[in-house]
Chain A
Amino acid sequence: MTDAPANGGTLRVDPLPDRADLRVPDPSAPGLEGDLGRANAARRTRAIERWAARVPGIDARRWGDEPGPGQPAMATVEPFSTDRAQGLTAGALVGRPLELDPEAEGPVGSPDPPALARLLDAGTDVTLADAADLLPDVADLGDDLAAALAAQVEVVLRLSGPAPVPSSAWFDHDTVLVGLWGERRLSLIGPADEAPVPGVSSDPTGPPAWSGSLAAGQLVVLPRGWGRVLEGSGPAGWAELRVRRLRGTDVAAFVAGRAGGALAFREDAPWDPDAVEPDPTSIFGDPDGLAARFAELDLDRLSATATAAWMAALRPVRAPTLADLDDLDGELAGPGGFVLVEGLPHDAEPLPPGSVGVAIGGHLLRVPAALAERLASLELPDDALRTLVRQGLLTPSRR
């Protein structure tokens, strides 16, 4: 919990409790809601423009405005420095957790560079999860993409040795490959299913729909479900941005989870549902009881809350550095933007009278009324800004 005295009251930042009632602000609404909605739209536009400046030819707005998955796309990242990527990586590998091929024999956990080199020499590809801090330039792209698509984005680093085994995979999320050094031949194979999920959909098969190379500074968008095969020799490193967008199944799971709050759904299941005497008041007293009670839920509202909860939970790709925390001149870091809090669960501390609840970046802001109208523009007193900076909700790198 963080407190900051401010003019007209204290801005408090806490973790966003589960089960809060949330709503995405409407830009066309009057007052605070409209201000926050328009601020969100403007923030998304700035992120799209920054992306476009570095990745010309791939329209992030269109990507986000259309249902996925889309089509593969290729571009060149500008500006890009192999030396910087390699240097930052080489300087910070020791002691980082690794993901290895489960069959591989080798050190796991805290490799030293010689051990890592031996692994790569042996043909093992190495994946470093949570690599945003190793690759700040790529992470910045990820932050822009997260805001443009309202998506969860994770950065991982893949290292490959001089004679790697060809690597094929497909993912149930969009993936952005960014070549860092070295080169690999890349083949893309069309998806087996329109919106594939593992365990349900088949693996992509057939001839490659596209073949080319992934070289340093090149970027390839691999839509959800597309297979990719990487081949070639010589040491190489590339980043993967794992882009997970909101989908209908997330909304369904959220709604189902919230349904337990309705009295009808709290009923215990009987031993033998077929032996229950007819009872229209019981979810189990009617063969269609579950469907009927589900239909009686306020599904539009719950679905909207599900979307708002997704937006509110999105966190920045790159954590601030210690130096960032001294800089109050930043930009909003929650990729989902501001989300209105309309109610808190019974076990959460209620909002102080007269204050407004706003969720962003996985946090709950208790905003005094006097500060609320200045929140959208971030024209806040220094102490309130400092509170946001300390929670990583403002990123100075975006100035």
Chain B
Amino acid sequence: MTTTAPSAPPPGRASTARVTRLDPAAAIEPFTPWSPGEVALATAIAARRDAAAHRVARDLGVDLRALVEDPRAQRVVDGRADLEAWDALDLLGAVREVLDRHDVAHQALGADRSRLVWTRDGVDANAVATGPVAVASPARYSPARANAVALEGELLEGASYVVKAIDEHVRRASDLIEDVETVLGARSSALAYLGGPGSRGWGPHYDNHAVLVIQVAGTKRWEVHEPIEPRPLRPHSPYRTSGRIVWRRTLEPGDVVFVPRGWGHEVVGSDSSSLHVTIPLRVRTGAQLLEMVAAQAHEVDELRADLPVGAVGRATALGRLLGPGTVERGLAAWRARLPSRARPALSTLDDVLADLDAGRWPSDVLLRLSAPGGVQRSGSALAMAGRRLDLDDPELSTLAELVGGARSADLAAVHADPTLGADLLRAGMLHVEPATVAATGPVAPSTPWPRPRPPSRPRRGTVVQVGGSPFPTPGARQLDPTDPWEAELLAANEAGRRRAITELADRFEDLDLPALLDRTREPRPVRARLTPAGLHELDGLAIVDQLLSCHDLGGDALKLARDHDPRNRPAPPALFVAPYSTYSPTLIDVAAVRDLLRDATTLIALGIDDRVPALSRWVARLERATGRRSSINAYLSHGEAPGFGAHWDDHDVLVLQVAGAKRWSVREPIEPRTMRPHSPTAVTDREVWAGTVRPGDALYLPRGWGHAVGSDGGRSLHFTFPLRAMHAAAIAEHAAGAAVASPAARGDVALLGRPPLILPTAGGTATAEAIAFWRARVPARAHQPLGGLEALRAGAPGTTVRLAAATGWFGRRGDPDQAPTDLRWLVAADRTLAVDPELGPLLGVLATTEALPLEVATATIPEALARCALEDLARAGLVEVGVPQRARIPK
């Protein structure tokens, strides 16, 4: 990043306690400006709210400010979205992205915390999404993503789903909600409601807050009922609606409706599946303000003492805390703690802070304060976005500039203090954007979603999914080359593997993958180099920025390495932003990550491929080419970071340096083909290679080879691709497990008798079966788009299909009892399928090729049969559907 040298360096305070966390118990007062700086700040905040209100009114066609500034105005208000703004907002795209890439379907969280819940038949119940809608996580650290094609199928069968908090993951939705929060002075969010044709969703109900409803796709019939009593408030009022309809309309894409708090509503799907986004408007009630005051009751001495048995407390004493200014103080306290929505990317934060800490403003960025609750006062300081700001008057003027958004060059020109910018940035209060915003590109062709087709399809003779994980015994086997039908699929598998090898080889300048995988020779480390195009495809820093900015990385997804400790350390709680609601994702405090990286710590994001479709394809190729399960772990460091120290891994690993540089030392294993339980730190000092790897450099390290990684200064990012192979010892273990099928093996062994020989001596057969079992369990890698099912059924132009089972098709040993005799049994990606033999050519072409046009796939066999089979495979997550992205309102 280039910088503008300040003509006269500002004095600039040292970054001390100028911006700190607001004490939860701090007394808050409304902000009344006195000094010129305070007046400037108040003016800027009022202007910011005006601008937010204007954008909401312009984009959604509803004057939200008028509605919230007159809370006693109880009426339904409708509006119509601005079409250009609508295209830019692309809420359908946001929902697609959240479903496909984010951790929305954790079943262990329960309905309150899960972000994907469903209901049907107008029952007011929330059930956590389960398979096949919830994609089975391939690993503990994998996100619980949704299979949108399966979800779409559920919609067509009468279910309704809600995806909560889409604004937490998608910037454009977050910006809309920040505007809403700025107008309201209250926390809000965006919840996406998906319903099928004629669905009755959650049935008639009312909410404890007003809502803004935006119809995004399809149509829904809305009925709004008069409230059961004036201003009903759950749980004080009966939870039912009056049934007296006061407003009724079929909402079309772009329609917007405001429903006041407590007004009952019932939503019924029309003849298509549909999506609307609801924005809750949580304005405080008098009851909540009173409860807030009661929480301060310990300030009244009379109320603090323990009461004698049988004595009745004197709640009247609480009245001493009530009086003029109570409401203002209550609202101020609430608004002061509304969190910032700024989530700058780590690399941006790095670059900008480097300049600011050096006492200069970067030259080409726009900095904007995010404090939706405005400014309040806490003693002698200000309170904004959960922070306490101790600023002098010139600094207040700078803050005022930042409220509306200021170019860094302009701030430099007025000699604003850069260290204030650094403090605000570290406190997570500043949006950072390029000063020149690129013009919005042309909108891609629209994909109307989803228009139903009659579900007239033969159920018989397509694909029947029999089982998923756990793997049903007796398990997978290699396809039989002597069976002509299976031989065709076997040839297709092999062709697909050769294609994957070629595609991988094309991404490297000099990697001989077949030679690497030839285990007839003792494997040795190999150095290679990505082509520029291959490196560009990985786009590592941008991906990591994106992951850290908006992904749920709680649980096991994020680890740390430091101090030569060979263990993955858990990420400390301080690395995460406090969740705001029960269903808030676990988001990262990017500034805390930056500090941690500068404290000689390596940050490890595990399994990032499952969150990024482009990376998932990379891994799928590798899995296809090698027959081994893989993933991508990202290692991010800054400066000296000793990480794990010298160690070895119990699997092969491909290392790609993506950004910056690292020093590697590779050492011979302590013994050939090392396996645990040797200590992971047991490495020799026989160094076979040492050097610095730079972007595009690759290392292939076979299992057991020691390695130590050090910094070469600056920011560094490398990806590792673990490749877990089945080795002979594991094959023996598998065979031993399979021996339970043998009566001899099951027999008790006499005390002095000779144990039966349970390990099969057939060798080749046992090995082949074990390898098939291993490879057939490599999980599917489908990233399904919402609208994919519709595209499949309609044969939409541009639709593609791709086999998501990375290791292809396998046979199945033995048939389940329920096996129809005229179907063929297959195993793929840990799922068992019964398929019509007529599907052979379709399955073959899927195994052979990468993504192929739908019309090519459906030309392999009778089209109707192909469509049905592809739908079954897609709903099972075995075929990934590709559709043209983006949708717009039909004009």
Residues of chain A at the chain B interface (Cβ within 8 Å)? 18-19, 24, 44, 64-69, 148-150, 174, 194-195, 197, 199-200, 224, 245-257, 259-261, 263-275, 282-284, 287-291, 293-295, 299-300, 302-304, 306-307, 345-347
26 A–B contacts, CB within 8 A, in A order: A69-B305, A69-B306, A195-B305, A195-B306, A251-B314, A252-B297, A253-B291, A253-B294, A256-B291, A265-B285, A267-B285, A268-B72, A268-B285, A269-B71, A269-B283, A269-B285, A269-B288, A269-B327, A269-B331, A274-B328, A289-B327, A302-B315, A303-B312, A306-B315, A307-B312, A307-B313
Tell whether, in the assembled complex, residue A246 and residue B304 are in contact, meaning their CB atoms are under 8 Å apart. no
Task: Give how many A-B residue pairs fall within 8 Å (CB-CB).
Answer: 212
- Name the CB-closest residue of A to B24: A199
Tell whether, in the assembled complex, residue B233 and residue A260 are in contact, meaning their CB atoms are under 8 Å apart. yes
Q: Which 4 A-B pairs have the closest CB atoms?
A: A251-B313, A68-B306, A260-B287, A248-B303
Q: How far is the CA of A68 from the CA of B68 in the complex (A)?
A: 46
Tell whether, in the assembled complex, residue A247 and residue B303 are in contact, meaning their CB atoms are under 8 Å apart. yes
Q: How far is the CA of A192 from the CA of B527 in the complex (A)?
A: 69
Is B230's CB within 8 Å of the partner chain A?
yes
Partner of A248, one of B72, B305, B323: B305
* Given known A-B contacts A271-B68, A272-B69, A291-B326, A248 and B284 have beta carbons under 8 A apart: no
Partner of A299, one of B284, B316, B324: B316
Partner of A265, one of B286, B297, B317: B286
Q: How far is the CA of A225 from the CA of B426 in the complex (A)?
A: 39
Is B864's CB within 8 Å of the partner chain A?
no
Other than the given A248-B314, A263-B229, 18 more pairs (CB < 8 A) read A65-B309, A69-B306, A200-B298, A247-B304, A248-B307, A252-B294, A256-B294, A259-B291, A260-B290, A261-B236, A265-B286, A266-B236, A268-B261, A269-B285, A273-B328, A291-B319, A291-B326, A307-B312
Partner of B235, one of A194, A266, A271, A347: A347
Q: How far is the CA of A270 from the CA of B331 in the complex (A)?
A: 9
Is B439's CB within 8 Å of the partner chain A?
no
Is B413's CB within 8 Å of the partner chain A?
no
Tell whether, in the assembled complex, residue B323 and residue A249 are in contact, meaning their CB atoms are under 8 Å apart. no
* Mask of B228-253 contacts with A, CB within 8 angstroms, 1/0: 01111101111100000000000000
Q: How far is the CA of A289 from the CA of B330 in the complex (A)?
A: 14
Q: How far is the CA of A65 from the CA of B310 in the complex (A)?
A: 8
A112: min CB distance to chain B, Å: 21
- Name the CB-closest residue of B to A197: B298
Tell whether, in the assembled complex, residue B307 and residue A266 are in contact, meaning their CB atoms are under 8 Å apart. no
Q: How far is the CA of A263 from the CA of B298 in the complex (A)?
A: 27
* Given known A-B contacts A248-B300, A249-B304, A299-B316, A269 and B289 have beta carbons under 8 A apart: yes
Is B322's CB within 8 Å of the partner chain A?
yes
- Name the CB-closest residue of A to B323: A291
Q: How far is the CA of A289 from the CA of B231 in the complex (A)?
A: 18
Q: How far is the CA of A69 from the CA of B306 in the complex (A)?
A: 7
The size class of the interface chain B forms with chain A is: 35 or more
Question: In the assembled complex, which residues on chain B have CB atoms less than 8 Å from the CB atom of A283?
Answer: 286
Is B506's CB within 8 Å of the partner chain A?
no
Residues of chain B at the chain A interface (Cβ within 8 Å)? 25, 65, 68-72, 185, 210, 229-233, 235-239, 261, 283-291, 293-295, 297-319, 322-328, 330-331
Q: How far is the CA of A149 from the CA of B237 in the complex (A)?
A: 35
- Name the CB-closest residue of B to A196: B304
- Name the CB-closest residue of A to B23: A199
A377: min CB distance to chain B, Å: 21
- Name the CB-closest residue of A to B32: A274
Tell whether, in the assembled complex, residue A260 and residue B306 are in contact, meaning their CB atoms are under 8 Å apart. no
- Name the CB-closest residue of A to B313: A251
Q: How far is the CA of A30 from the CA of B186 in the complex (A)?
A: 53
Q: How far is the CA of A290 from the CA of B329 in the complex (A)?
A: 12
Question: In the assembled complex, which residues on chain B have CB atoms less than 8 Å from the CB atom of A263?
Answer: 229-231
Scoring B69, B210, B305 by chain A CB atoms within 10 A of each residue's CB, the highest score goes to B305
Partner of A267, one of B231, B306, B331: B231
Question: In the assembled complex, which residues on chain A have CB atoms less than 8 Å from the CB atom of B287?
Answer: 256, 259-260, 265-266
Tell whether, in the assembled complex, residue A194 and residue B305 are in contact, meaning their CB atoms are under 8 Å apart. yes
Tell whether, in the assembled complex, residue A259 and residue B285 are in contact, meaning their CB atoms are under 8 Å apart. no
